[in-house]
A and B are shown apart, each in its own frame.
Chain A
Amino acid sequence: MAKGNEKKHRKSVSYAKWAYIFITPFFISYILFTLIPQFLTVYNSFFENYRNGLEQVGPNFVGLGNYIKLLTPDSSGTIDFLRYLGNSLAMWIAGAVPQFLIALLLAVLFTSSRLNLKGQGIAKTIIYMPNLIMASAFSMLVFSLFSNVGPVNKFLIDAGILKEYYNFFATKISVRTIIACMNFIMWFGNTTIVLMAGIMGIDQSLFESANLDGANSLHVFFDITLPLLMPILSYALITSMIGGIQMFDVPQVISNGKGTPNMTSTTVIMMLNNYLGISKNYGMSGALSVMLFIITGILGMLVYRSLARQYKD
């Protein structure tokens, strides 16, 4: 009797304790490297704090001064912060639409028990490959491919399609298309794999019974796969959107940090980078980051709400 009691007692104490111990490192590093810096960012956004040459200006408390500066329109009525945010979103959407459509299609094809495609392993590896290359290295590669003296122009001229080189990096539409395509190539494999995991999590018997009831593939896709995939799809969409808002390395390298033409490839993080560059303007970059945090939160909520409602129906 006494022995059994002791055993029970020991069991319940030790396992719970270990669980907490195992998750402690995460919380410590999260607090140190994420939570505290986040609070500091908010704190810094209320101060004028930058360097002029080697001379430090501030920190002087300016209240909401940095936010007001960030949201004050210039003489022509544009607010640069919103304009650059618009650039980020436009380039993200241009890449994300094909990214999700193709990823969805591939995920369905790869998981279809009816097709049972061969060589899936290799195909999945290949489509994931572009994600393994460093974004900046990939950008350099694309930049040299499309440069005025690069192979693309050489080919177009040799084939007689163009008379003289076309400057791909001087027109808005071509720069944005190149950036969107790069984002698409880098991320569609990743999305495919996430969506496949989602589809494989759906109960197979649902598909079987649908087939028995004579539903065609379209019906199965729209009435079974898509609704049941919604939680994963909205997760993938929201993380992709956050990535899109934080777009930086591809446009930075492609435009050599200048956001040309006419600032149409300047993303909001490139603006942040300019603030943080030579003058270490912690005040303005803090304000920008806080604004971005709020906007990302709102957009994320909107996407989640609209998708989640569909899921409930």
Chain B
Amino acid sequence: MKKLLSILLVLLMVLSLSACGQKEEPAAPAEEGEGKVFHIYAWNEEFKGFFEKYYKVPEGIEVVWTIVPNEGTQYQDALDLALMNQESAAADEKVDMFLAEADYILKYTNSDYTQDIKALGVTNFANTYPYTVEAASDASGVVKGVSFQCCPAGMIYRRSIAEDVLGTSDPDEVQAAVADWAKFDEVAAKCAEKGYLMTSSYAEDYRVFSNNTSSPWVDADNNLQIDPAIQTWMDQAEAYVKNGYTLTSGVWDAETTEQAAKDGKAFCFFGPAWYYNFCMGPAFGADAVAAGTDSVGDWGLCDGPQAFFWGGTWLLAATGSDNPTMLADVMDKFINDEEVCTNLIKNEAQFTNNQAVNNKFAEDPEFGNPYLGGQNDTAVFAEGAKNIKFQNQTIYDQGCNESLQTYFVEYLQGNVTKEEALNNFYKALHEKYPAIKVPEA
């Protein structure tokens, strides 16, 4: 038995060695005098997957990932600690590159913990969407990173329900029916009459409002302010819950996503490419398809009542990186390399940060997303991406957006008064961010 095992092991080793030997193109050798370890901080496996598939790591360099979940600022905590120890860390332990989201990117770009990537050699931004560069720049316009994706978002609606309620499932006609919030309300009422839900979470369209605010969460004197757009969202959520147009579960809760499955009742969801391609498991996930409870093909995409973007992952260059050449190369490849960007669209259902490649797919009549019944979503997004502005952001956005939803829903569930809910929101913010001045606390 032992002998058999050892033979098996030897065989395995030989096989894996020969597999290594078959590599077609040898990767470029590592730059002289630079580090042997490329250290990346991220909050999930998404980019790691793309990186491992489409980026050829120079020979002799080992890529180390530190992945910490995003929720409740855990990721930022871990990252901050690493960045603050950057100077004293051993060369191989220094952070070279880290990922950041729109909600808190400002915190890092406006600090000395990130460095000018133009100085590193990333200079070609001709094809990127201007807002992605703006978001990665500090107050004086120094660019500190790039985004490998662009996240214009839209309304993802259920074709069968649209057919039943509106008599059409055509994206243009559905768009006309929900062109503004008043019309959206009308459709919601019609859906309710037929026993459907308009959305399956009170916060499903939160990002549409929060992305169209006229003022940041915190003013110049650090006073918290609730924008009229957020106010409108609160009123809408209240009315929708009262009328039975939506549920009181959160965007990521199982009750919400289950409404996207075969027998789900929700008319629409809101989000960018990554949302429906990766976060609507009950609708499109492999498990659901295997179990026959999926709803692949029963969906359509249109702009919705207001243009907005949601999320996006930026790659930022950490100050003190000991792999500047590779750092610049990674960033350049993910925005300018046609092959990488084409793979991202074709194989990974991404909407990339390369206008030329995106437009090529947008104009391709053969190209379409099977989830959306073959509709060319890249074409919808290519149009939407033009309208995105990066504005009114603060370093507190993640905390504000998360906490408001958390504590406001208690009011919608009928557990507290509106005043108590807002008070809880203020208190939670004040505990987390002592610098923010909140009303009466």
Contacts and interface: CB of A to CB of B under 8 A. Distances in A.
Given A261-B416, A277-B77, A278-B77, A271 B249 contact: no
B106 to A, nearest CB: 8
A260 B427 CA distance: 13
A258 B76 CA distance: 18
Contacts of A271: 431
Interface SS of chain B: helix
A167 B410 CA distance: 12
Nearest to A273: B431
B399 A147 contact: no
Interface stretch (A33-41, A73-81, A293-301, A305-313): A73-81
Given A171-B415, A261-B415, A278-B399, A57 B255 contact: no
Interface in A251-291: 257-258, 260-263, 271, 274-275, 277-279, 281, 284
Interface in B405-441: 406-407, 410, 413, 415-416, 420, 423-424, 427-428, 431-435, 440-441
Contact of A54 (B107, B399, B410): B107
Interface residues on B, range: 35 or more
Nearest to B255: A148
Contacts of B108: 54
A50 interface: yes
B415 A170 contact: yes
B415 A277 contact: no
B406 A75 contact: no
A74 B72 CA distance: 25
B258 interface: yes
A97 interface: no
B86 to A, nearest CB: 12
Contact of A170 (B113, B258, B413): B413
Contacts of A148: 249, 253-255
Interface string B258-298: 10000000000000000000000000000000000000000
B395 interface: yes
Contacts of B73: 277-278
A249 to B, nearest CB: 14
Contacts of B258: 149
A52 interface: yes
B172 interface: no
A57 B222 CA distance: 14
B415 A262 contact: yes
A149 B255 contact: yes
A260 B406 contact: yes
A interface majority secondary structure = loop
Given A275-B431, A277-B77, A147 B413 contact: no
Contacts of B329: none
B44 interface: no
Given A149-B258, A262-B424, A53 B111 contact: yes
B395 A53 contact: yes
Interface string A130-145: 0000000000000000
Band of interface residues on A: 20 to 34
B180 interface: no
A227 to B, nearest CB: 46
A193 B127 CA distance: 70
B329 to A, nearest CB: 27
A163 to B, nearest CB: 15
B433 A279 contact: yes
A267 B407 CA distance: 17
Contacts of A80: 427
A167 B76 contact: no
A167 B258 CA distance: 16
Interface in A144-169: 147-149, 165, 167
B348 interface: no
B386 to A, nearest CB: 31
B432 A279 contact: yes
B254 A147 contact: yes
B80 interface: yes
Interface in A55-97: 55, 57, 74-76, 80
Interface in B213-269: 249, 253-255, 258
Contacts of A147: 254
B254 A262 contact: no
Contacts of B416: 261-262
B417 to A, nearest CB: 10
A57 B428 contact: no
B113 A74 contact: no
B83 interface: yes
A131 B255 CA distance: 32
Nearest to A276: B77
A167 B77 CA distance: 31
A75 B77 contact: no
Contacts of A284: 434
Contact of B432 (A75, A149, A260, A274): A274
Interface string B378-404: 000000000000000001000100000
Contacts of B254: 147-149
B396 to A, nearest CB: 8
Contact of A50 (B249, B255, B434): B434
Contacts of B80: 51, 54
Contact of A260 (B111, B410, B433): B410
Nearest to B424: A263
Interface in B99-121: 107-108, 110-111, 113
Nearest to B429: A274
Given A277-B73, A284-B434, A261 B410 contact: yes
A227 B126 CA distance: 84
Contacts of B434: 50, 52, 57, 279, 281, 284
A271 B395 CA distance: 22
B441 A74 contact: yes
Contacts of A74: 423, 427, 440-441
Contacts of B255: 148-149, 165
B401 to A, nearest CB: 14
A300 B300 CA distance: 64
A277 B77 CA distance: 7
A70 B255 CA distance: 38
Contacts of B441: 74-75
A171 B413 CA distance: 10
A57 B111 CA distance: 15
Given A50-B434, A52-B435, A278-B73, A167 B107 contact: no
Given A54-B80, A279-B434, 11 more contacts: A51-B80, A52-B433, A54-B108, A54-B113, A57-B434, A74-B423, A74-B440, A170-B413, A260-B406, A277-B77, A278-B399
6 contacts: A54-B80, A57-B434, A148-B254, A149-B254, A260-B406, A261-B415
The 9 closest A-B pairs by CB, nearest first: A274-B431, A52-B435, A75-B440, A53-B395, A54-B111, A278-B73, A53-B107, A149-B254, A262-B416
